Amino acid sequence: MDLVSIEEIRDAASRVKGAAVRTPLLEQSWAPLWLKPESLQPIGAFKVRGAYNAIAALNEDQRARGVCAFSSGNHAQAVAYAAKRFGIPATIIVPDVAPRAKVEATKALGAEVIEVPIDRQESSALAVAEERALTMIPPFDHRDVIAGQGTVGLEIAEDLPDAGVVLVPLSGGGLASGVGTAIKALLPGAKVIGVEPELAADTAEGLRAGRRIEWPMDLRARTSADGLRAQPSDLTFAHLQAVLDDVVTVSEEEIGEAVRTLAHRARLIAEPSGATATAAYLSHRDALPPGKVVSVVSGGNMDPATLAALLADRG
Amino acid sequence: MDLVSIEEIRDAASRVKGAAVRTPLLEQSWAPLWLKPESLQPIGAFKVRGAYNAIAALNEDQRARGVCAFSSGNHAQAVAYAAKRFGIPATIIVPDVAPRAKVEATKALGAEVIEVPIDRQESSALAVAEERALTMIPPFDHRDVIAGQGTVGLEIAEDLPDAGVVLVPLSGGGLASGVGTAIKALLPGAKVIGVEPELAADTAEGLRAGRRIEWPMDLRARTSADGLRAQPSDLTFAHLQAVLDDVVTVSEEEIGEAVRTLAHRARLIAEPSGATATAAYLSHRDALPPGKVVSVVSGGNMDPATLAALLADRG
């Protein structure tokens, strides 16, 4: 399979400049840990990079007709935000179980939001795109989306050339594919480790088996990390096989503790999905290769009540 | 009085590079508001800029003997952090009412911490400095400290040349003096507005009167914004008279609401002092001059229980 190249990621970097925040790499004073706070992006997650890059790569005619997406939340906001910047219409199909904060934020960005049962999300989106002649911007199964997320890795390599380990959360695999591709190209000595919730560890199992393994949605839906319930496509799985050195799985308790540590020590609000990579550092340090550790804090969108409950729990 | 110049702030910028994070200016998608998240500094507050600049400006002999400071918290950590980077000893005198999180973090940075009653903090620090031949790094009453804090303003001017209003919290006045000096030099059309808690509004009263007005500590100690209980010195008051266009005061309720809004909308943990400038935007927008508004989120250090209580309060 023809994998995304570092040149495509460099092209993405020049496209997303100005639309995505060039996030700093935050060295922590309490641990040999560097955090990449993608929670500080305009829509609170790295997804703005891939969505913006994919829309920027469309031709004028396609773009003017508008875009469409389906997402459990952060990709929805990212497509809405990018479309708003381009001044084009966006239609977002979200599962009716999505956190209210994410749904409301998507609407506030001017997108039309259609809520459907989670198992009809993809089919509904395809039907709407067909009917309205919209271009579908997929959450991860697309070269331009992967290349856009890869700009996170490009920036990590620029800011910490002697990084030893890069921890990145795994779900559909777009972020890990892009970051891994950039790191392997620019810092060949660094290890790239994917991190999954134990309750949605389909990719860990699939990589061990050497092929994609399906986990039913009712199993994956158990994790509090609602952004990590997707599974890789053929395209992202091929990337993950090529660029990941290992996968670490973390428990729900470890994810909650990472949310609290990021708030108290790093002053960052991370949603459970966004704290998952840091949970691997905090709770599985001994299982990681040696060297300076970078953890991608992928997002920070959460219902206020969920956040309050997580921070009130003294674990 | 000879005020700090933009050249001194530029010198500070080259000194603190690498020691202080070059924080991004975060454009918000929910409001025409730009946040300068100094809560992301290694010690969770802007104070690292001034402390590091002041220590960097010492001669080798002075520096080798070590430094001393008194502080309600964030300046303590900043001096400890900067001393650690230089590999020199730091002795910090803290009031026994300081938040535990700040005291523990200061010790964890390798400083010797001496706790004293709040009204003996300054005299104890002077005695220790004399006895041990340490150089005192004051929290705000020092040109190099003011110049270091001014680098926040330098970066704001670089990142948003068409800023209309810059909101900055007021306490001892080091941050506001430095930021105001930089903004007035680089963006002469922008207004610089100081923000104070109503319960510690000595500077608002002093600027109206045209002279420093003392508020007794037991009055100032009422505000939850524990970093904003200090009062300007002659040096900082002269700067504030020269560079501030206005002062806005905010209630404790407005500060609490700003902590919640920063967490939920901007995914930033701000301590009450750090949220005070943003409270002026959220609750007193009509009192501000027109134009793009920048708010300095000055710090994010708080006891976990205080944070949990603030976020659990739905205001």
pLDDT reading at A148 higher than 60: yes
Same domain, B36 and B159: yes
pLDDT of residue A314: 57
The pLDDT confidence band at residue A315, using thresholds 50, 70 and 90, is very low
Cβ atoms of residues A273 and A150 within 8 Å: no
**Are B53 and B14 contained in the same domain?**
no
Q: What pLDDT digit, counting tens, does each position of A64-92 carry? A: 999 999 886 789 899 999 999 999 999 99
pLDDT for residue B272 is more than 90: yes
Note whether B40 contacts A42, CB cutoff 8 Å.
no
Domain identity same for A90 and A108: yes
pLDDT digit string, tens, across residues B161-190: 999 999 999 999 999 999 999 999 999 999
B183 and B221 both lie in a single domain: yes
What integer pLDDT is reported at residue B314 of this predicted model? 57
For the residues B210-233, what does the mean pLDDT come to?
Answer: 93
Q: Quick one: B252 and B190 in the same domain?
A: yes
- Please check the confidence at residue B64 and state whether its pLDDT lies above 70: yes
Verify that A40 and A65 share a domain, yes or no: no
Distance from CA of B262 to the nearest CA of A (A): 10
Q: How far apart are CA B315 and CA B297, in angstroms?
A: 20
Q: Is B7 helix (H, G, I), strand (E, B) or coil?
A: helix
- Computed over every residue of chain A, the mean pLDDT equals 95
User: Which 187-246 residues of chain A touch chain B by CB within 8 A?
Assistant: none
- Same-domain check for residues A156 and A262: yes
As a dihedral over the C-alpha atoms of residue A83, residue A87, residue A93, residue A96, rounded to 10 degrees, the angle is 90
The answer to the question of residue A1 being in a domain is no
Is there a domain that residue B234 lies in?
Answer: yes
- Alpha carbon separation from B252 to B61, B116, B255, B314 (Å, rounded): 45, 27, 5, 14
User: Of the candidates B109, B136, B163, which is a domain's last residue?
Assistant: B136
Give A39→chain B minimum CA distance, Å.
7
> Chain B contact for A256, CB < 8 A?
no
Domain membership of residue B235 (yes or no) is yes
CA distance B285 to chain A (A): 20
Alpha-helical (H) ranges within A87-173 are 100-108, 121-132, 143-159
| Residue B40: other Cβ atoms inside 10 A | 26
Q: For residue A240, is it within any domain?
A: yes
Angle at A282 between CA A278 and CA A285, to 5 degrees: 110
Q: Tell whether B188 and B223 lie within a shared domain.
A: yes
Task: Quickly count: other Cβ atoms within 10 Å of residue B213's Cβ.
Answer: 17
In angstroms, rounded to a whole number, what is the distance separating the alpha carbons of residues B194 and B240? 9
Same domain, A234 and A277: yes
Instruction: Write out pLDDT tens, residues A262-296.
Output: 999 999 999 999 999 999 999 999 999 999 999 99
B241-262: average pLDDT: 98
> Angle CA(B30)–CA(B35)–CA(B41) in degrees, nearest 5?
140
In a domain, B1, yes or no: no
Q: B78 to chain A, minimum CA–CA distance in Å?
A: 11
Give the pLDDT mean for B103-126: 90
Average pLDDT of span B267-271:
97
Of A22, A268, A314, the CB nearest to B24: A22
Residue B211 DSSP SS3: coil
Q: pLDDT band for position B96 (50/70/90)? A: confident
- Which residue segment(s) compose the domain that A285 sits in? 6-46+142-312
| Contact list, A101 vs chain B (CB under 8 Å) | 264
What is the band of B72 on the pLDDT scale with cuts at 50, 70, 90? low
A36, A47, A102, A191: which one is catalytic? A47
Residues near A134 by beta carbon (within 8 Å), at least 6 away in sequence:
A65, A66, A67, A68, A89, A91, A128
Backbone angles phi, psi at B195, to 5 degrees: -130, 130
In this structure, is residue B108 part of a structural domain?
yes
Q: Which residues of A touch B273 (CB under 8 A)?
A: none
- Residue that finishes a domain, picked among B116, B136, B156: B136
Angle made by CA atoms B304, B137, B20, in degrees to the nearest 5: 60
Round to whole Å and give the CA distance between B77 and B69.
Answer: 10
pLDDT confidence of residue A58: 97
Q: What percent of chain B has pLDDT over 70?
A: 99
Last-in-domain residue among B136, B168, B200: B136
A249 contact B CB<8A: no
Please tell me whether residues A33 and A61 are part of one structural domain. Answer: no
Asked if B108 has any chain A CB less than 8 Å from its own CB, the reply is: yes
CATH number of the domain to which A188 belongs: 3.40.50.1100
3-state class (DSSP) for residue A93: strand
**8 Å CB contact of B21 and A26:** yes
* CA–CA distance, A4 with A108 (Å, rounded to integer): 33
* Same structural domain, B84 and B56: yes
Q: Look at strands B246-250 and B67-70 and give their pairing.
A: unpaired
Interface test with B, best of A29, A43, A257 (most B CBs within 10 A): A29
Mean pLDDT, residues B147-157: 98
Cβ–Cβ < 8 Å for A182, A175: no
Question: Higher model confidence: residue B254 or residue A301?
Answer: B254
Judge whether B205 lies within some domain: yes
A83 contact B CB<8A:
no
pLDDT at B71 over 90: no
pLDDT, tens digit (0-9, with 9 covering 90-100), for A113-137: 999 998 888 899 999 999 999 999 9
The answer to whether residue A31 neighbours chain B at the CB level (below 8 Å) is no
Same domain, B106 and B121: yes
Q: From A34, which residue of chain B is nearest by alpha-carbon distance?
A: B42
Higher pLDDT: A81 or B101? It is: A81
Residue A290, in any domain of the structure? yes
Q: B308 and A307: CB-CB below 8 Å?
A: no
Which residues on neighbouring strands pair with residue A45, listed in sequence order? Answer: A299
Based on the residue annotation, tell me whether A298 is a catalytic residue of this protein: yes
Q: How many domains does chain A have?
A: 2
